[in-house]
Structures are given as C-alpha cells and as structure tokens.
Amino acid sequence: MSKMGAFVLECQTIAQDCYNESREDVIAEVEKTFVNADKFQVSYAKEVTLDYWEEIQSDMHTYF
C-alpha cells in the first residue's frame, strides 16, 4: 500500500472507531495517532478524518 493509501486508511479507521464520540474527541485521537507527524500532516489528517466522521454522522441521522 502506498503511503497516501495508508494515511487515508488510518484516517478512515479513526473516524469509524470514533463514530459515537464528539468532534473534540475525534480531533484528540487524530493528534494522538499522528503525534510524530509534521504540522501539515496533522492538519490534513484532522480534515480528512473529520470529513469521514461527518459522513458517518450524516448517514446515521439519515438511516437511524
């Protein structure tokens, strides 16, 4: 798997694992997971993870 693919998979996994957590908890988990990454990568990880998390939230509200 490419580095970008692994990055996206990690973001998706965080979003799925934290689907029932608050936005702040999701951000905290991203920061904990990417603690050794540079600022840009952490910022992008937050953006990508929150996009997936929001998609899950939207789906949950639509179907449940």
pLDDT digits (tens, 9 = 90+) for 14-55: 999 999 999 999 999 999 999 999 999 999 999 999 999 999
What is the count of structural domains for the chain?
1
Provide the pLDDT for residue 13. 98
Domain of residue 17, residue span = 3-63
pTM score, whole prediction: 0.94
Long-range own/partner contacts, residues 46-53 (CB < 8 A, 24 or more apart): 48/7, 48/8, 48/11, 49/11, 49/12, 49/14, 49/15, 50/15, 50/23, 50/26, 52/11, 52/12, 52/15, 52/16, 53/14, 53/15, 53/18, 53/19, 53/23, 53/26
